[in-house]
C-alpha cells in the first residue's frame, strides 16, 4: 500500500479532536435527552432489563447479570458506571420516582455504599415497564446499531411522562454540567396537561400548578419568589432548609429534632453536619447543646439535639441554618440534549419538547396500530367471504393438484388445472378474487371455524376491528382527538403513580443569629512538644504552674478574645484565634493546632509563639540556620490573613528562632561546630518582614546555627556546653559576619 503523507496544521487537528471528544462525552454519556430524561447508560440499562424480561411481576435477577449483559451489548464503558447508574435508579432517597426495584443493600441516605453487584438483585418497577418501555413493539422510536453493530438499541425510550422534571438528573460533561431537581409526579403531569391545552401558558401560571421542586428528602424551599426567574431561564439557586421540630421534655427542657434534611445533605454530608455541630460546641459558638444523637433509621431521618434548660431555641435554629449545611443551596442548571445538541431549557421549553415528543409517539403508535387492524380487517373480510362460499372452496381444494393451483384459483380465478364437479362451480370459481393474505388465511383456516358460533364470533371481531380502524384514523387525522387521548392517558398515569408532596415551598426570612458576646478574660495557652494545644483559666494554671511549665513547650498568657502568632521554621506566621482553641481542664489532651490553623505538623516546626497583642509595640529578632539575622517591627504581623510569610529565606535555609527583644541588648549565636558569636542588637539593622536579613556570623563549609540566645546584662543566661557551664555575658561583643569563638 502506497504511503500518503497529509500535511495539516497541528492546532487544527487538536482542536477538532478535542471538540469530537467533548461532544462524545456530552451527547453519548453525561447529559440526559430532554425527551425521556435519561442518560445513555440509564437508557441502555433499562432497555437491557426489558430485553432480559426482568419485569416488575417477574423474579429478581442478579445485578451482575444485568450489568454484564448491558456492557456486552450496549454500553462498553466499564461495569462500575453501569452499576452506579443502576443503584441510583433504585434509591428512593435520590429519585422522585425510582425506576428500578432493588433487592438487597442498595446503600443508604447516610452515605453507605451499595453492596457489590454479585450480591444485589433487581427488576424493573411497574411504572418503568408501563410508562417507559410499554410501546417499544409499536415502532414508536427509532433504533440504531450498537457499538459493534451486532444489536439494535433505541435512540430514546418512549417515555410517556416528563421524566427529566420528575426524577431530575445531575451530570458533568466537558465544559458544562447539568443539575435538575426532582419534582412531584402529579404536579408535573398537571403542568404538562396545562401546557398541552394552552401552549401560550406563562411560567408564572405553570408554577401555580407545579410550585417548584419536590425533593425525596422533603425539606423546605425558602426562596419561593425567586423560582419564577429560575424556571424561566433554567438556571439559578434554590435555597433549601431541613425541617426542625421542637419537642418539650420534663423539667422544662426542650430538644431539637431534625426530621427532614436538605437534598444536598444526602450521603457523607450528614456526617459532616454532625461534625459541624460538634465544632460549634467545641469553639463555644453555642453552649445550649448538651448532647447529639443520630437516631435515623429506615423509617426516616431523626437527628436529636438535647438542649440545656432555658436554651434560646429560635436563636439556635438560626445558628444551625447559618453555620451548617442544614440550610444549603441547590444550583439549578436544566441542561439537556434537545434536537441533538446541548441546550439550557426553561420550564416551558422542557414541556414543549415533552408535548412534541408525545404527539410524535402517539402518531407513530396509532399508525402502527392502524396498519395492524387494516391487515386484520383484510383477513377477516376474506374469512367471512370464504364462509359464505365454503362448499366451493372445499371443491377447489379437493380438485387442486397442489397449493399453487389452489392459490391461483382463489386469487385470480384460474381454473384450468382444477377438477370441478360441475360447470356451474367452475364458473363461480372464476369469479373469486381473494388477496394473497386472505388466500393464505383461508388455506390455514381450521375446520372448527365453520361452526356457527365461530362464524358469529368472527363477524363480531370484524365489527370491533372496524371500530378500531375508525378510532385510529380519527386520532391520526384529528389533532383534537389525539390531544384528548393523550390527556386521558396522562390522567391515568397521574391516578396510578402520583404521591403527596414532600417539600414545602415558602418565602422565609434569612436566618439571623445573634452571637453571644464572650466575656473578655485572660487565659493560659499551653502547647506540648507534639503540637497539642488547649487553654485553661488562670486559677487552674496557678494551681498547676510547675507541672504546666515542665510539660509544655509553650506557655503563654493571652486574652480569650485575642490572637496568637505562631512562627515556623519555613518562614511562615500562622494566626490562631483563641476562640478557636478548645478550653478545657488541665489534664485534657488538647487538639493539634493543625485543626484550627494552616499549620502543617508534617512539614513545619514551631520556632516561636507569642500573643499578638504583646508584640505589636515590640521588635522581633529572626535568626536562621545559615546565620542570617534581622530585626522586624512586631506591628508588621498585625494582618487579617491566617497565614503570611514572616521572612524571606534563601534556598535550603530555615528559621531557627524568633525572639521578642523587649529590653534585650545582645544576641549569642551558637553553631553546631561549637562557635559562639556575641552581637550587640544595636548592630543588627531593622528590616521589613519581606527582607532576607544580614549575615550575623561567618560559618564553616558544613557548619550551621542551631541555637540563639537574647539577653541584657542583668538577665545574662548560663548554659551548659560539653558538660561545662558558660556565662554568655562573658563573651566579647564581636562585629557582624565574624567567625566567633570556638568552645
Which of 119, 195, 354, 675 is the catalytic position? 119
Assessment of whether the complete model's pTM goes beyond 0.95:
no
pLDDT digits (tens, 9 = 90+) for 256-306: 999 999 999 998 888 899 999 988 887 778 888 889 999 988 888 999 999
| Degrees, nearest 5: CA angle 360-183-509 | 145
Residue 618's pLDDT band, with cuts at 50, 70 and 90, is very high
Residue with cell 370484524: 462
Residues whose CB falls within 8 Å of the CB of residue 337, separated by 6 or more in sequence, listed in order: 26, 27, 31, 32, 33, 34, 343
User: What integer pLDDT is reported at residue 449 of this predicted model?
Assistant: 66
User: What integer pLDDT is reported at residue 492 of this predicted model?
Assistant: 95
CATH classification number, 522-742, choose in 2.10.109.10, 2.120.10.90, 3.40.50.720, 3.40.50.1360: 2.120.10.90
Q: Which of 35-39, 386-390, 721-725 has the highest mean pLDDT?
A: 35-39
Q: Which residues pair with 244 in a beta bridge?
A: 258
Region 407-420: mean pLDDT is 85
Region 446-475: mean pLDDT is 84
User: What integer pLDDT is reported at residue 208 of this predicted model?
Assistant: 95
pLDDT digits (tens, 9 = 90+) for 542-565: 999 999 999 999 999 999 889 999
**What is each CA distance from 685 to 381, 453, 696, in whole angstroms?**
115, 121, 11
Architecture field, domain 38-158: Alpha-Beta Complex (3.90)
Q: Do 217 and 263 contact (CB within 8 A), yes or no?
A: yes
Domain with CATH 3.90.199.10 in the chain: 38-158
Copy the grid coordinates of residue 606.
Answer: 514551631
How much of the chain, in percent, has pLDDT values that exceed 90?
A: 62
> DSSP label at 550?
H
For the chain, the average pLDDT equals 90
**What is each CA distance from 549 to 52, 130, 530, 707, in whole angstroms?**
75, 76, 15, 21
User: What integer pLDDT is reported at residue 517 of this predicted model?
Assistant: 66
Q: Which of 42-46, 320-324, 722-726 has the highest mean pLDDT?
A: 42-46
Who wins on pLDDT, 413 or 491? 491
| Degrees, nearest 5: CA angle 557-560-562 | 85
User: What integer pLDDT is reported at residue 366 of this predicted model?
Assistant: 95
User: What integer pLDDT is reported at residue 340 of this predicted model?
Assistant: 84
User: What integer pLDDT is reported at residue 204 of this predicted model?
Assistant: 95
Measured CA to CA, the distance from residue 407 to residue 437 in angstroms comes to 11
Write out the DSSP string of 222-288: -BGGGHHHHHHHTEEEEEEE-EEEEEE-GGG-EEEEEEE--GGG-TTHHHHHHHHHHHHHHTTS-S-
532 is an active site residue: no
User: What integer pLDDT is reported at residue 50 of this predicted model?
Assistant: 96
How much of the chain, in percent, has pLDDT values that exceed 70?
A: 96
Region 53-64: mean pLDDT is 96
Domain with CATH 2.120.10.90 in the chain: 522-742
Q: 96 pLDDT exceeds 90?
A: no
Q: 453 pLDDT exceeds 70?
A: no
Residue 223's pLDDT band, with cuts at 50, 70 and 90, is very high
pLDDT digits (tens, 9 = 90+) for 119-161: 999 999 999 999 999 999 999 999 999 989 999 999 999 999 9
Region 196-212: mean pLDDT is 95
SS3 content of the chain, % helix, strand, coil (to 5): 40, 25, 35
Region 662-688: mean pLDDT is 91
**Was domain 243-325 assigned CATH 3.30.1360.40?**
yes
User: What integer pLDDT is reported at residue 47 of this predicted model?
Assistant: 96
Residue 16's pLDDT band, with cuts at 50, 70 and 90, is low
**What is each CA distance from 7 to 1, 3, 10, 15, in whole angstroms?**
19, 13, 9, 16
User: What integer pLDDT is reported at residue 715 of this predicted model?
Assistant: 80
Measured CA to CA, the distance from residue 143 to residue 152 in angstroms comes to 6
Measured CA to CA, the distance from residue 576 to residue 560 in angstroms comes to 11
| Cα-to-chain-centroid distance, residue 295 | 24
Residue 452's pLDDT band, with cuts at 50, 70 and 90, is low
Amino acid at each position: 500500500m502506497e504511503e500518503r503523507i497529509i500535511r495539516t496544521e497541528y492546532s487544527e487537528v487538536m482542536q477538532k479532536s478535542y471538540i469530537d471528544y467533548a461532544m462524545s462525552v456530552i451527547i453519548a454519556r453525561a447529559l440526559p435527552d430532554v425527551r425521556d430524561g435519561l442518560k445513555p447508560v440509564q437508557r441502555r440499562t433499562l432497555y437491557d432489563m426489558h430485553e432480559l424480561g426482568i419485569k416488575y411481576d417477574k423474579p429478581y435477577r442478579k445485578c451482575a447479570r444485568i450489568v454484564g449483559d448491558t456492557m456486552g451489548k450496549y454500553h462498553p464503558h466499564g461495569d462500575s458506571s453501569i452499576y452506579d447508574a443502576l443503584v441510583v435508579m433504585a434509591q428512593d432517597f435520590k429519585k422522585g420516582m425510582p425506576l428500578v426495584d432493588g433487592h438487597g443493600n442498595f446503600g443508604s441516605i447516610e452515605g453507605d455504599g451499595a453492596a457489590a453487584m454479585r450480591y444485589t438483585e433487581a427488576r424493573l418497577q411497574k411504572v418503568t415497564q408501563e410508562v417507559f418501555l410499554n410501546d417499544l413493539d409499536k415502532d414508536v422510536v427509532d433504533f440504531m446499531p450498537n457499538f459493534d453493530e451486532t444489536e439494535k438499541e433505541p435512540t430514546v425510550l418512549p417515555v410517556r411522562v416528563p421524566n427529566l422534571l420528575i426524577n431530575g438528573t445531575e451530570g458533568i460533561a466537558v465544559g458544562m454540567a447539568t443539575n435538575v431537581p426532582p419534582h412531584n409526579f402529579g404536579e408535573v403531569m398537571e403542568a404538562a396537561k396545562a401546557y398541552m391545552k394552552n401552549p401560550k401558558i406563562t411560567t408564572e401560571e405553570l408554577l401555580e400548578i407545579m410550585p417548584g421542586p419536590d425533593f425525596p428528602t422533603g425539606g423546605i424551599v425558602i426562596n419561593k419568589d425567586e423560582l419564577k426567574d429560575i424556571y424561566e431561564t433554567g438556571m439559578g439557586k434554590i435555597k433549601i432548609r431541613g425541617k426542625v421540630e421542637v419537642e418539650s421534655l420534663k423539667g422544662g427542657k426542650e430538644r431539637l429534632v431534625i426530621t427532614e434534611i436538605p437534598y444536598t445533605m444526602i450521603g457523607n454530608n450528614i456526617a459532616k453536619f454532625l461534625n459541624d455541630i460538634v465544632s460549634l460546641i467545641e469553639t463555644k459558638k453555642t453552649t445550649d447543646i448538651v448532647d447529639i444523637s443520630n437516631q435515623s433509621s429506615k423509617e426516616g431521618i431523626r437527628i436529636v439535639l438535647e438542649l440545656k434548660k432555658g436554651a434560646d431555641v429560635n436563636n439556635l435554629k438560626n445558628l444551625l441554618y447559618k453555620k451548617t449545611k442544614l440550610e444549603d443551596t441547590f444550583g439549578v442548571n436544566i441542561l439537556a440534549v434537545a434536537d441533538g445538541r446541548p441546550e439550557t431549557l426553561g420550564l416551558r421549553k422542557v414541556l414543549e419538547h415533552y408535548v412534541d415528543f408525545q404527539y410524535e409517539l402517539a402518531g407513530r403508535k396509532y399508525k402502527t396500530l392502524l396498519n395492524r387492524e387494516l391487515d386484520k380487517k383484510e383477513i377477516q373480510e376474506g374469512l367471512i367471504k370464504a364462509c359464505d362460499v365454503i362448499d366451493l372452496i372445499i371443491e377447489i381444494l379437493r380438485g387442486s393438484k397442489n397449493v399453487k393451483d389452489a392459490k391461483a384459483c382463489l386469487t385470480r380465478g384460474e381454473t384450468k388445472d382444477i377438477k370441478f364437479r360441475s360447470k356451474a362451480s367452475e364458473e363461480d370459481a372464476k369469479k373469486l378474487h381473494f388477496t394473497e393474505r386472505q388466500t393464505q388465511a383461508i388455506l390455514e383456516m381450521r375446520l372448527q371455524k365453520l361452526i356457527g358460533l365461530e362464524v358469529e364470533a368472527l363477524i363480531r371481531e370484524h365489527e370491533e376491528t372496524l371500530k378500531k380502524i375508525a378510532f385510529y384514523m380519527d386520532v391520526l387525522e384529528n389533532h383534537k382527538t389525539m390531544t384528548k387521548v393523550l390527556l386521558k392517558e396522562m390522567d391515568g398515569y397521574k391516578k396510578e403513580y402520583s404521591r403527596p408532596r414532600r417539600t414545602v415551598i415558602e418565602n422565609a426570612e434569612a436566618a439571623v443569629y445573634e452571637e453571644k458576646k464572650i466575656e473578655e478574660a485572660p487565659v493560659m495557652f499551653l502547647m506540648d512538644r507534639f503540637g497539642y494545644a488547649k487553654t485553661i483559666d488562670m486559677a487552674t494554671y496557678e494551681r498547676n504552674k510547675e507541672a504546666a511549665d515542665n510539660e509544655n513547650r509553650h506557655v503563654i498568657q493571652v486574652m480569650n478574645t485575642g490572637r496568637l502568632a505562631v512562627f515556623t521554621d519555613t518562614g511562615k506566621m500562622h494566626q490562631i484565634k483563641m476562640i478557636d482553641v478548645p478550653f478545657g481542664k488541665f489534664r485534657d489532651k488538647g487538639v493539634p493546632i493543625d485543626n484550627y490553623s494552616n499549620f502543617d505538623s508534617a512539614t513545619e516546626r514551631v520556632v516561636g509563639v507569642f500573643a499578638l497583642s504583646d508584640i505589636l509595640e515590640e521588635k522581633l529578632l529572626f535568626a536562621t540556620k545559615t546565620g542570617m539575622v534581622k530585626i522586624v517591627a512586631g506591628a508588621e504581623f498585625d494582618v487579617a490573613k491566617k497565614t503570611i510569610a514572616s521572612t524571606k529565606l534563601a534556598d535550603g535555609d530555615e528559621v531557627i528562632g524568633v525572639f521578642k527583644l523587649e529590653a534585650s541588648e545582645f544576641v549569642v549565636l551558637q553553631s553546631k561546630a561549637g562557635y559562639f558569636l556575641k552581637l550587640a542588637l544595636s548592630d543588627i539593622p531593622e528590616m521589613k518582614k519581606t527582607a532576607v536579613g544580614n549575615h550575623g556570623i561567618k560559618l564553616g563549609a558544613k557548619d550551621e546555627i542551631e541555637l540563639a540566645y537574647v539577653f541584657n546584662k542583668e538577665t545574662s543566661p548560663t548554659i551548659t556546653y560539653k558538660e561545662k557551664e558558660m556565662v554568655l555575658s562573658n563573651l566579647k561583643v564581636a562585629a557582624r559576619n565574624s567567625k566567633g569563638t570556638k568552645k
